Structure 1
Amino acid sequence: MSRKHSIIACLVFVVLTLAIAGMGYRAKTDIENVVTDQFNHQQLLLAQKIADDITGHFAFLRTCLEGLSLMWRGETATDGMPWLAIPAFYNIFAEWNVAALGVLRPGRAEPVFYDASGAPMPGGEFCTPACLQAFTDKPRMGRIAISRVFVQEKGPLTGRRLVAMTMPLADEAGNVGGLVLVVDAMAVAARYAHNIRSGQTGYAWVIDDQGVFLDHNEADFIGHESLAVRRERDPSIDWSRLTWLIKDRIMAGQRGMDWYVSGWHRGRLGEIKKFVAFCPVPLDAGDDPGNRWAVALAAPEDEVQGLIGWLMVREWLIVGLFELVVFAGFVTAMHFALRWSNTLETEVDKTARELLGAQEKLIRAERFAAIGEAAARLSHEIKNPLMLMGGFASQVRRHLPQDGTDAEKLGIIETEAKRLETLLNEVRDFTRPQPPRIEPRDLNETVGESLALMAEALKARGIVVEKRLDPDLPPVPHDEARIKQVLLNLLKNAAEAMDSGGRLSVATALADGRVTVAVADTGGGIPEAVRARVFDPFCTTKESGTGLGLAVCQRIVEDHHGDIRFVTSPVGTTFTLELPADRPEGKQDGR
């Protein structure tokens, strides 16, 4: 290579380096802006979800009050008010953070309050003057109002921040009475916000209409005014931007994204810039539009942008090293170009297959998530009314002659309510799975115990069981209860496929660091129309099945970092469960 060519090559190298550096810097800036915007929008979606959950919480309590009002009108003439002894109401109230139920009898001055067990609560002024005014100052019958947050100064709820839900009612004579629900505002806020995490360390906080923390990651902040408690902890920080943000945007009922400077974050000290997303939680927009809470999620800026910056620096170093290698070893690189090309083609094909597999899993996960959310919503909306109907049917049946047709019908209602409750519990288990507790255990023993549990049912169907368990299996990391659930489901399905008897084969084996459990039957096989959807939720060929069994099995196996598959034909079906023989590195107890 001549001197001229060397100079030209050096100039090209320098120009190329500068161009790549410039493009890299611009790419870093663009990526930071895009990632920051996406992160803030994700925080905003989380904040809106928390706000919707809190709003839905009070909407459910409104429904409960409306149901209680019907009983109040029917029982105002009864001194004992026996409907107050129905446990279903108090179970619901305890679960939904109701601290006390107040009943104002017609013509009385103050309501009597009852706790979650139905017993009268001694002492404590649970109803503020504004609350009592709802029954005395031109009461609006049947209108449910939600009070501003107030602090209980004496009694069993001293120091708690509460909200009163009032519903004025009148008896046939026009005497005013009604119902009061005293709700623990702090408990409601913590229920939906406390365990929410944004990014790696971001957290949510909730303030009421007075700017007081109802929930925060810092426990000593809860119950204190949000700006004052921050200034008290670190007066050296300039809190002006956060003051403007809370007073002019967050407490004004706005929804949006912004940033502020704090003096700490989960144990870190010093000035920290945080991204924040916020939205309002309207409680009583009708008569009191100012009665609203606010939800915010905050995460440090460096958590979002620091990783991007480090990755870009590493990318620049790699690019620079690559240029030096190319400049110094151009001839050698040309020699290996063909070999690299072939290797690259192989890797591209492999990566393409992996991406296609990942895409299919992602599409399935999104579909499952949508189904799970809808199922969880339906379960939530149905279960409580179902419990009430079953409880009411039981109460009424006990007061009827047991040999009458009405008692028989009520018994059917109780039985069907319990069956539907079992179905809803299965839906809950599918949509809210618990992480497995994976420990090395004897898999053959787990298989044997599962077969023992099904032995009587298999014998009753005339099914012959053939076991081929590998005695040399090492301890296999698995959750015994979860894998037993999978095996029982597969054994039950196999048994139901062989109504007239048959042969059931169960075998374990070890190969290439993976342990397999094969369950084979001699039934009629899986219909071709449903084979592609066997692991989809609610896919079933049984008249009484829920269609969740195999979907739950697949989720449990995937939580074990394993795989489940099947082959089927008109002469039988074989399901194969595959688990890693060793615990995956960095994985503990399924997490």
Structure 2
Amino acid sequence: MKKYRLPLMPMIWVITCLVIGVLVGIGLYSYSSAEKAMADQFNQEQLVLVQQAAKGMENHLATLRQTLTIMTRIPEARGLAREGGEEKLKALWEACGGSFDFLFHVGERGNPLSSYPSKILEGLQGETFRLRPHLEKTRIAGKTAVVHTGPFPGKKGPDPAWRFGSLLILSPIFHGPDLAGFLGAGIDFKKVYDRFVHPIRSGARGSSWMIDGEGRFIAHEDSRLIWKDAFSARQERDPGLSSEKIDWIMREKMLKGQSGTGEYESGWHLGDQGRIRKLIAYAPVRLDGQIWPVAVVVPYSDVTQLVWGSFQSSAVLILIMAGVLLAGTYVGHKINQERVRAAEKVRWGEEILRSQNRLQALFDGAPDAITIVDRNYRILTVNKTAQTWYKRGLEDFVGKLCHREFQNRPDLCVNCPAEESFRTGRPAFRERASLVAGGTKYYLQIFTFPLRDRNGDIVEVVEYVKDVTAEKELQQQIIQSERLAVVGRMAANVAHEIKNPLGTIVLNAELLGEELDKIGSERTAECQELLGIIKSEVDRLLEVVEEYLQFARLPKIKLEEGSVNEAISDLFLFLKEEMNERKILLVEELDPNLPPVQLDPKQLRQALLNIVKNSFEAMPEGGKLTLTTGQRDGKVQITISDTGKGIPPENQELVFTPFFSTKHGGTGLGLSITSHIVKEHRGAIGFQSYEGLGTSFTIRLPIAPSPRPAQGEEKPAAGQP
């Protein structure tokens, strides 16, 4: 009996349809997953933006509050309590550099007495402004407070911007223990909102809004909603749409000072009406016990459009794959006829592949970065070294403009070597500094070589980039060492010549003081006071001289095995009383299991003391000093962090430079000596600093090597104790 076989083409059609169905199902599932993932990622990016904006507004208002507090302590402000007057307010306003929109003086009974500009006074005295409740809160607290009031005083007219209202900062003025009045400052809230919140937009149609602690809109794209209750305003505008979800987010999250993300439905967005699904990210602005939540929203459709555009490409790919399957079925019966020729092609293909692999191995194995660009200066490929330098994959470079990716420039680099090779047809060379991954500055030598096609036309250029940072740094270190040697000798000579006369002055001042004590007359009291000033200033000069001599005779390090924690404990036992006087809180987080290191305890304490002294100077009103020890990457790490004023960015590169100081009377040698001591310990020192937040110094020292077994002593076998 002949065995029945199914026709070939129907079987192929069934298999093809199944494959296409599976591909479509995978595509739909991928679209759904991608849409959700994209929405979550989008919301997280919005959250970062809104948190940064909220923090920026907090810091700005805190700075203004501190500025007004300081202003109440200067003579012009205290004179207001006795005399008042627009002229003194104007002087205060000019002294603060116009940080505020207006200043005003309020008597101790809460009545506005004067303002600058003077036209603000009428608005302050009006009933609609309601200044008195805020003054009462400030009176009870006894310190400067920031409040958000109603419409900006004195602003009227059709411009809806006046509805944003004003921020008031109120600070009490004291004569001794008695309250003598208030100094107030006002800031147009719209300016603050436009600076920190309004610019943060995500997506094509992102927007932002803000509510106060009572749930009223204080900023919104729709100015008609400002100063309305956010819960009821939405219901009034969109009565047919449920606002339960956004109401819950505002009530349970935003008004309780939480940050987060979510989504809700609205009936309006930037003029568009209808049921609009939105993504929201929110964060609080906290100041003086008040919470002003900020929200950034974007229509969900902005995200789905991105995903849909990607999915369209996938759908086209599926159709192409289906066509390929059908075409493959049609030509399948001809494969046998082409087998011999195909085998030959495979052999040649394998040979080409081996050649390509060899070339690729040479390309990727080069110790320097290699890049190939076309005539439009778009990157065709980069080798592994370039990818390692920039910590990015090949796909992150291909098709991108070389000057944008490597130099972060929108246009072609000045004096570009690739452009010269394209223009002249000859190799070119340049040397320049550049930033690679992590913002590290590198010195690079760039060689370019033109590549030609079969017609002799230049179509591509190879860029060979060599890292010469180490050589440059060595040259700079040699130059710096020579300069420091000269400066050190000069400092030693000058300090030596000054020290002896200063010693003589101190000795004679002490003798003169003894003679004045013998006289004992009241007429010598002023002489004794002047003599004390002379001795104090001479002592200060002697300290400076000693610091110069210490720099000139940089200490010799005598290393021995010891504990970093013990050296730190000894130092802060010595500094305990001074820290109490300065109102500085010490937080110690010392790792009890810290391994020993090779150190000179005395010199290490000196290095730490120089850092701690700078932290003291950075916290004149007190603060927190955190000291942490631990292990990281096979090193013992010491971290000293303060909550001081921070180091300005323009000064950070000069921190360890000898004789650089921003302090009055400072020598600028403390951190230079610290750097020398750490290097003598075969360690490294670095820091991070942010203005207004503080500075953190990190010292990393190598762990002491474990003692080797004595000669002839047998090592334990593997697995045995």
If the TM-score is normalised by the length of the shorter chain, which range does it land in?
0.5 to 0.7
Q: Is the 8 A contact 2:72 2:78 kept in 1?
A: no
Describe the superposition over 1:110-138 as per-residue Cα deviations: whole angstroms up to 9, x where unpaired.
443224xxx68442216989753565689
2:66 alignment counterpart: 63
The 1:356–1:316 alpha-carbon spacing in structure 2 relative to 1, beyond 3 Å, is farther
The question of 1:39 aligning with 2:45 is answered no
2:166 alignment counterpart: 162
Alignment of 1:358-369 (within 5 A): 360-361=389-390
Sequence identity (%): 21
Q: Is the 8 A contact 1:189 1:214 kept in 2?
A: no
Q: Distance in 2 between matches of 1:338 and 1:223?
A: 79
Gaps of 5+ in 1: 286-290, 365-434, 448-469, 474-485, 487-509, 516-524, 532-536, 547-591
1:303 alignment counterpart: 302
Secondary structure at the residue paired with 1:150? coil
Choose which of 259, 265, 269 in structure 2 pairs with 1:265: 269
Alignment of 1:75-86 (within 5 A): 75-76=78-79, 79=83, 85=91
Shift of 1:314: 2.8
The question of 1:149 aligning with 2:149 is answered yes
2:206 alignment counterpart: 202
Secondary structure at the residue paired with 2:101? strand
Describe the superposition over 1:512-541 as per-residue Cα deviations: whole angstroms up to 9, x where unpaired.
6999xxxxxxxxx9455789xxxxx9879x
Q: Distance in 2 between matches of 1:125 and 1:514?
A: 71
Q: TM-score, normalised by structure 2?
A: 0.44
Q: Is the 8 A contact 1:148 1:209 kept in 2?
A: no
Of stretches 333-342 and 320-329 in structure 1, the one that deviates more from structure 2 is 333-342
Question: Which amino acid is 1:206 matched to?
Answer: M
Q: Distance in 2 between matches of 1:62 and 1:188?
A: 14
Q: Is the 8 A contact 2:168 2:185 kept in 1?
A: yes
Q: Distance in 1 between matches of 2:217 and 2:281?
A: 16
Alignment of 1:197-236 (within 5 A): 197-219=201-223, 221-226=225-230, 230=234, 235-236=239-240
Secondary structure at the residue paired with 1:102? strand
Describe the superposition over 1:349-373 as per-residue Cα deviations: whole angstroms up to 9, x where unpaired.
8977378756744679xxxxxxxxx
Shift of 1:64: 0.6
Q: Distance in 1 between matches of 2:268 and 2:349?
A: 50
The question of 1:189 aligning with 2:193 is answered yes
Shift of 1:325: 1.1
Shift of 1:298: 0.9
The question of 1:102 aligning with 2:101 is answered no
Q: Is the 8 A contact 2:89 2:103 kept in 1?
A: no
Shift of 1:273: 0.7
1:293 alignment counterpart: 292
Describe the superposition over 1:477-508 as per-residue Cα deviations: whole angstroms up to 9, x where unpaired.
xxxxxxxxx9xxxxxxxxxxxxxxxxxxxxxx
Choose which of 54, 58, 65 in structure 2 pairs with 1:51: 54
Q: TM-score, normalised by structure 1?
A: 0.53
2:314 alignment counterpart: 315
Shift of 1:175: 4.4
Shift of 1:198: 0.9
Question: Which amino acid is 1:48 matched to?
Answer: Q
Q: Distance in 2 between matches of 1:160 and 1:202?
A: 20
2:637 alignment counterpart: none
The question of 1:353 aligning with 2:357 is answered no
Q: Distance in 2 between matches of 1:170 and 1:236?
A: 56
Question: Which amino acid is 2:170 matched to?
Answer: T
Larger Rg: 2
Alignment length, in residue pairs? 394
Alignment of 1:108-127 (within 5 A): 109-115=111-117, 121-125=120-124
Shift of 1:84: 5.4
Q: Is the 8 A contact 1:208 1:214 kept in 2?
A: yes
Question: Which amino acid is 1:52 matched to?
Answer: K
The 1:436–1:177 alpha-carbon spacing in structure 2 relative to 1, beyond 3 Å, is farther
The 1:253–1:8 alpha-carbon spacing in structure 2 relative to 1, beyond 3 Å, is same
Secondary structure at the residue paired with 2:124? coil
Describe the superposition over 1:295-354 as per-residue Cα deviations: whole angstroms up to 9, x where unpaired.
111111121123213422431331332243144236589957788886897899897737
Q: Is the 8 A contact 2:138 2:144 kept in 1?
A: no
Q: Is the 8 A contact 1:47 1:279 kept in 2?
A: yes
Choose which of 155, 178, 183 in structure 1 pairs with 2:182: 178
Q: Distance in 2 between matches of 1:64 and 1:539?
A: 29
Shift of 1:18: 3.0
Shift of 1:166: 2.0
> CA RMSD of the aligned region, Å?
5.3
The 1:527–1:108 alpha-carbon spacing in structure 2 relative to 1, beyond 3 Å, is closer
Q: Is the 8 A contact 1:162 1:185 kept in 2?
A: yes
Of stretches 259-268 and 325-334 in structure 1, the one that deviates more from structure 2 is 325-334
Shift of 1:15: 3.3
Question: Which amino acid is 1:68 matched to?
Answer: M
Q: Is the 8 A contact 1:141 1:168 kept in 2?
A: no
Choose which of 251, 258, 273 in structure 1 pairs with 2:255: 251
Gaps of 5+ in 2: 365-371, 373-379, 394-407, 424-431, 433-449, 452-457, 462-470, 478-649, 661-721
1:506 alignment counterpart: none
The 1:337–1:149 alpha-carbon spacing in structure 2 relative to 1, beyond 3 Å, is farther
Question: Which amino acid is 2:319 matched to?
Answer: G
